[in-house]
C-alpha cells in the first residue's frame, strides 16, 4: 500500500464525527435491532413504573397540570391503619414463605434423597399443585374451613361434640397456611434438581467421621443448599408482599387486610372514586422495598457458585434409608397432596353438585345434581369470558415466544454496552408482583390515552407477556444453548439472511421449546388473576375475573362448578404439554 493511500485513509478516519466512536462502543451501528429491543423492554418494564412514581406526586395521581404535591404520602403515612397494613403484609409474606420453604425442602429431600415408597409417582404428581391457581386453592379452603358449613369444622364438631372456634381460616394464620401451600410447587421445582445432583462425597466423609444421618444433613447438606434456600425465600417473599388472590378471598372475609387489598380498594372503591394518588404512593414505596429485595436475590444467586457440588466426575447421590420413619414420611407426602390438591378439589366438586352451600352430609347424596354446571354453561358471560381468555392466552403465548426468542439471541451473544442491557431488563419483571404490574399498566394507559388500550383485552395480554417474560426467556435460553453455532455459521456462509436462518434452522430445531413455552404461557395466562382484576373494565372480562365475581356476589355453586371446569382444563393442558414435548424429543 502506497504512502498516499495510507495518508488518505488516515484523513478519512480523522474526518469521521466523534460520536461514531461511541456509537460503535455502544453497539448501535453494529446492531440497530438490538437498540430497538432495548427500547421496547424499557417501555414495557421501566416506563410503567415511572408513571406510578410520578403520579404519586401529582394532585390527581395522573400527569395532568404543572402542580406537584406530597399530600398523598402525608395521607398514607399519617393514617394509623397504614402501619397495621404494613405489619400484616410483612407477617403474611414472611410466614407463608417460611411454611412453603419448609414443606418444599422436606418434600424434595424425601423424594430425591431417600428410599421413600412411590417416590417416582410423587415426583410426577408435583405437576398437580402447579395447575391449581391460588384463587381456586383459596376458594377450596374456604369451603373446607368455613366456620358455619366447612367440611372440617362440621366434621370435628360432630365427632368432638363442640365447635373449635380457634380453628379459624379467616385469620392471618389461615392466609399464611394457604399461601404457603401455594408456594410449595415452586419450592420443589427449585430444590429437587439441586438435591438430585448433589455430590455425595462430602456427606460420605461426614458419615465416615461418625456423624449420624441427621447431623450430616444439618451440618453438611443444608449449608450447601443455603444459597438456593435464601434466594428462593427472597423471591417468594417478594411475591407475597403484593399477593392479592388469597388475601382477597380469605382475608377480606375475616377483615384481615394487607397492602394489596388496600391498593385494590383505592382503585376499585365501590362507594367512592378511584384514589390514584394514594395508590401510586403506596406502590412507589413498595416498589423501592421490593427492588432492594431483588438486589439481595441477585447477589444470593451470584454467590451460589461458591457452593457448587456438581463436578465433572461420575457419582451417584446417596439415598438415605428412612427406617422407622418410612411410614411417617410416606404419610407426610400423602398429607401434602391431600391438603394442597385433593381436599380443596373435592370440596369444589361437592359444592358444585349440592343444591345449596352446606357441609359434607351423606343425606344430601340423593339431591346431588349438575344444575350449577348447567347454569354456568347457559350463562352468556361464561362463554364471553372463555373467548376473551382464549384470545388473551393465545396472544400472550405467541408474543412471549417472539419476545423471548429475540431476548435470548441477544443475551447469549451481546454486542456492545446496549446488548448487555437486554438480559437485566428482561429479568426486571421478576421482582414486580403481578398486582403492581397491573397497576403500573393502568397508570400508563391513563396517561397515554392515544394508545387506546385501556379496558381492552390487549392490555391484559401485554401484562401477561411482561409478567412472564423472565420465565419464558430463561426457558428459551436453555433451549438455544443446545444449538451449535456452527449451524447458523454454515447458513451465513451460504448467503442466508437472519430470517432465512430463523425459518430454516432455529425454528424447526427449537420447536419442542416453543411448544413448551406456548402451553406454559397459555396455562398461566388462563389462571392469572391479579393483573386481570386490576385491568378489567369495559367488557374485557376473562375467566378468572368472572370466577371472582361469582364468588364475591354469593354464587358459590356457580363459582365451584366453574372452578372445577377450569382446574380440569388446566390439568389436561399441562398433561398435553408434557406429552407433546416428550414426543418432539423422541423425534
C-alpha grid cell for residue 527?
389462571
CB crowding 39-66: b at 16 or more within 10 Å, else e: eebeebbeebbebbbbbbbbeebbeeee
Which residue shows C-alpha cell 398523598?
72
Residue 570: CB atoms within 10 Å: 20
Which residue shows C-alpha cell 355453586?
557
| Nearest of 170, 129, 120, 172 to residue 150 by alpha carbon | 170
Question: 3-state SS of 372-387?
Answer: HHHHHHHCHHHHHHHH
pLDDT for res 385: 93
pLDDT for res 376: 92
- The tens digit of pLDDT for each residue in 199-231 reads 566 666 666 666 666 666 666 667 777 777 887
- The tens digit of pLDDT for each residue in 93-105 reads 999 999 999 999 9
Are the C-beta atoms of residues 87 and 256 closer than 8 Å to each other?
no
C-alpha grid cell for residue 272?
367512592
Residue 211: CB atoms within 10 Å: 16
How far apart are alpha carbons 411 and 44 in whole angstroms?
A: 18
pLDDT for res 562: 92
The alpha carbon torsion through 99, 247, 461, 478 (nearest 10 deg) reads -10
Are the C-beta atoms of residues 132 and 341 closer than 8 Å to each other?
yes
How far apart are alpha carbons 63 and 76 in whole angstroms?
A: 20
How far apart are alpha carbons 393 and 397 in whole angstroms?
A: 6
Beta bridge partner(s), residue 320: 114
Cα distances (Å, whole numbers) of residue 63 to 67, 273, 444, 448: 9, 18, 10, 10
| Nearest of 255, 327, 300, 334 to residue 84 by alpha carbon | 255
How far apart are alpha carbons 517 and 520 in whole angstroms?
A: 5
pLDDT for res 22: 41
C-alpha grid cell for residue 422?
437486554
| Nearest of 480, 474, 473, 478 to residue 507 by alpha carbon | 480
Residue 133: CB atoms within 10 Å: 23
pLDDT for res 447: 81
Measured over the CA atoms of residue 452, residue 454, residue 456 and residue 459, the dihedral's sign is: positive
pLDDT for res 485: 59
pLDDT for res 23: 41
| Nearest of 158, 168, 146 to residue 357 by alpha carbon | 146
Rg of the chain on CA atoms, in Å: 27
C-alpha grid cell for residue 472?
419464558
Q: Where are the domains of the chain?
A: 40-48+370-587, 87-270+292-362
**pLDDT string in tens for the chain (587-residue length):** 455 444 444 434 444 444 444 444 444 444 677 888 888 888 888 888 888 888 888 888 878 778 898 888 888 888 899 899 989 999 999 999 999 999 999 998 888 888 888 888 888 787 777 778 888 889 989 988 887 777 788 777 777 766 666 778 899 999 999 999 999 988 888 888 777 766 566 666 666 666 666 666 666 667 777 777 887 888 788 888 888 889 999 998 888 999 888 888 888 766 567 888 888 888 777 777 777 776 776 666 555 445 444 444 445 566 778 888 889 999 999 999 999 888 999 888 988 888 877 766 677 777 788 888 999 999 999 999 999 999 999 999 999 998 988 888 787 776 667 777 888 888 878 767 788 788 888 888 888 877 788 888 999 999 999 989 888 887 787 777 766 555 555 656 666 666 666 666 667 777 777 887 888 888 889 888 889 988 887 788 999 999 998 888 878 889 999 989 988 888 887 776 666 655 545 55
DSSP letter (8 states) at residue 147: T
How far apart are alpha carbons 252 and 257 in whole angstroms?
A: 6
pLDDT for res 58: 86
Which residue shows C-alpha cell 455425595?
200
C-alpha grid cell for residue 93?
409474606
For the whole model, what pTM was predicted?
A: 0.80
| Nearest of 381, 366, 397 to residue 514 by alpha carbon | 397
Percent helix, strand and coil across the chain, each to the nearest 5: 75, 0, 25
What is the secondary structure of 423-437 as a DSSP string?
HHHHHGGGGS-HHHH
Question: 3-state SS of 385-421?
Answer: HHHHHHHHHHHHHHHHHHHHHHHHHHHHCCCHHHHCC
Q: Measure CA 122 to chain center.
A: 23
C-alpha grid cell for residue 308?
457448587
pLDDT for res 26: 44
| Nearest of 247, 249, 248 to residue 139 by alpha carbon | 249
Are the C-beta atoms of residues 243 and 249 closer than 8 Å to each other?
no
CATH topology identical between 40-48+370-587 and 87-270+292-362: yes
How far apart are alpha carbons 418 and 429 in whole angstroms?
A: 19
Are the C-beta atoms of residues 319 and 111 closer than 8 Å to each other?
no
Are the C-beta atoms of residues 389 and 565 closer than 8 Å to each other?
no
How far apart are alpha carbons 515 and 511 in whole angstroms?
A: 6
How far apart are alpha carbons 510 and 403 in whole angstroms?
A: 15
| Nearest of 308, 68, 65 to residue 199 by alpha carbon | 308
C-alpha grid cell for residue 579?
406429552
pLDDT for res 312: 43
How far apart are alpha carbons 356 and 558 in whole angstroms?
A: 11
How far apart are alpha carbons 467 and 489 in whole angstroms?
A: 34
C-alpha grid cell for residue 165?
372456634
Homologous superfamily assigned to 40-48+370-587: MetI-like (1.10.3720.10)
How far apart are alpha carbons 458 and 195 in whole angstroms?
A: 41
CATH fold group of domain 87-270+292-362: MetI-like fold (1.10.3720)
Amino acid at each position: 500500500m502506497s504512502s498516499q493511500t495510507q495518508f488518505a485513509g488516515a484523513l478519512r478516519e480523522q474526518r469521521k464525527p466523534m460520536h461514531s466512536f461511541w456509537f460503535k462502543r455502544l453497539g448501535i451501528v453494529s446492531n440497530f435491532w438490538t437498540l430497538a429491543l432495548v427500547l421496547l423492554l424499557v417501555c414495557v418494564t421501566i416506563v410503567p413504573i415511572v408513571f406510578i412514581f410520578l403520579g404519586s406526586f401529582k394532585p390527581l395521581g395522573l400527569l395532568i397540570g404543572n402542580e406537584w404535591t406530597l399530600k398523598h404520602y402525608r395521607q398514607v403515612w399519617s393514617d394509623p391503619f397504614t402501619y397495621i397494613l404494613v405489619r400484616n403484609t410483612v407477617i403474611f409474606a414472611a410466614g407463608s414463605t417460611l411454611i412453603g420453604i419448609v414443606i418444599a425442602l422436606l418434600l424434595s429431600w424425601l423424594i430425591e434423597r431417600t428410599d421413600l415408597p412411590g417416590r417416582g409417582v410423587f415426583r410426577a404428581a408435583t405437576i398437580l399443585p402447579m395447575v391449581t391457581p391460588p384463587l381456586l386453592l383459596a376458594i377450596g379452603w374456604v369451603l373446607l374451613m368455613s366456620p358455619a358449613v366447612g367440611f372440617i369444622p362440621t366434621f370435628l364438631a360432630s365427632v368432638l361434640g363442640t365447635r373449635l372456634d380457634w380453628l379459624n381460616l379467616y385469620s392471618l394464620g389461615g392466609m399464611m397456611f394457604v399461601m404457603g401451600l401455594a408456594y410449595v410447587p415452586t419450592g420443589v421445582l427449585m430444590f429437587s434438581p439441586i438435591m438430585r445432583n448433589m455430590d455425595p462425597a462430602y456427606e460420605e466423609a461426614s458419615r465416615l467421621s461418625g456423624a449420624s444421618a441427621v447431623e450430616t444433613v444439618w451440618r453438611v447438606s443444608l449449608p450447601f443448599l443455603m444459597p438456593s434456600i435464601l434466594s428462593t425465600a427472597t423471591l417468594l417473599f417478594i411475591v407475597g408482599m403484593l399477593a392479592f388472590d388469597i388475601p382477597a378471598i380469605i382475608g377480606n372475609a375475616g377483615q384481615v387486610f394487607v397492602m394489596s387489598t388496600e391498593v385494590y380498594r383505592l382503585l376499585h372503591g365501590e362507594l367512592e372514586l378511584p384514589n390514584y394518588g394514594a395508590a401510586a404512593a403506596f406502590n412507589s414505596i413498595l416498589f423501592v422495598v421490593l427492588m432492594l429485595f431483588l438486589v439481595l436475590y441477585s447477589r444470593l444467586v451470584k454467590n451460589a457458585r461458591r457452593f457448587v457440588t456438581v463436578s465433572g466426575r461420575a457419582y451417584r447421590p446417596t439415598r438415605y434409608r428412612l427406617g422407622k420413619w418410612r411410614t411417617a414420611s410416606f404419610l407426610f407426602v400423602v398429607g401434602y397432596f391431600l391438603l394442597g390438591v385433593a381436599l380443596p378439589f373435592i370440596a369444589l366438586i361437592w359444592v358444585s353438585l349440592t343444591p345449596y352451600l352446606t357441609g359434607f352430609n351423606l343425606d344430601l347424596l340423593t339431591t346431588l345434581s349438575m344444575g350449577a354446571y348447567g347454569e354456568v354453561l347457559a350463562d352468556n358471560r361464561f362463554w364471553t369470558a372463555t373467548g376473551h381468555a382464549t384470545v388473551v392466552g393465545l396472544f400472550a403465548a405467541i408474543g412471549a415466544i417472539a419476545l423471548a426468542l429475540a431476548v435470548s439471541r441477544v443475551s447469549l451473544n451481546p454486542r456492545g454496552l446496549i446488548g448487555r442491557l437486554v438480559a437485566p431488563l428482561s429479568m426486571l419483571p421478576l421482582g414486580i408482583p403481578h398486582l403492581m404490574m397491573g397497576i403500573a399498566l393502568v397508570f400508563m394507559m391513563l396517561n397515554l390515552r392515544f394508545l387506546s388500550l385501556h379496558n381492552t383485552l390487549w392490555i391484559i395480554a401485554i401484562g401477561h407477556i411482561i409478567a412472564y417474560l423472565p420465565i419464558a426467556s430463561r426457558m428459551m435460553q436453555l433451549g438455544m444453548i443446545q444449538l451449535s453455532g456452527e449451524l447458523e455459521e454454515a447458513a451465513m456462509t451460504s448467503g442466508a439472511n437472519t430470517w432465512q436462518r430463523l425459518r430454516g434452522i432455529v425454528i424447526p430445531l427449537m420447536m419442542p421449546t416453543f411448544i413448551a413455552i406456548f402451553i406454559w404461557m397459555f396455562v398461566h395466562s388462563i389462571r392469572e388473576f391479579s393483573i386481570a382484576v386490576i385491568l378489567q373494565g369495559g367488557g374485557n372480562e376473562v375467566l378468572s375475573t368472572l370466577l371472582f365475581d361469582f364468588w364475591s356476589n354469593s354464587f358459590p355453586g356457580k363459582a365451584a362448578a366453574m372452578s372445577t371446569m377450569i382446574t380440569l382444563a388446566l390439568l389436561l393442558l399441562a398433561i398435553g404439554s408434557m406429552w407433546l414435548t416428550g414426543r418432539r424429543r423422541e423425534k
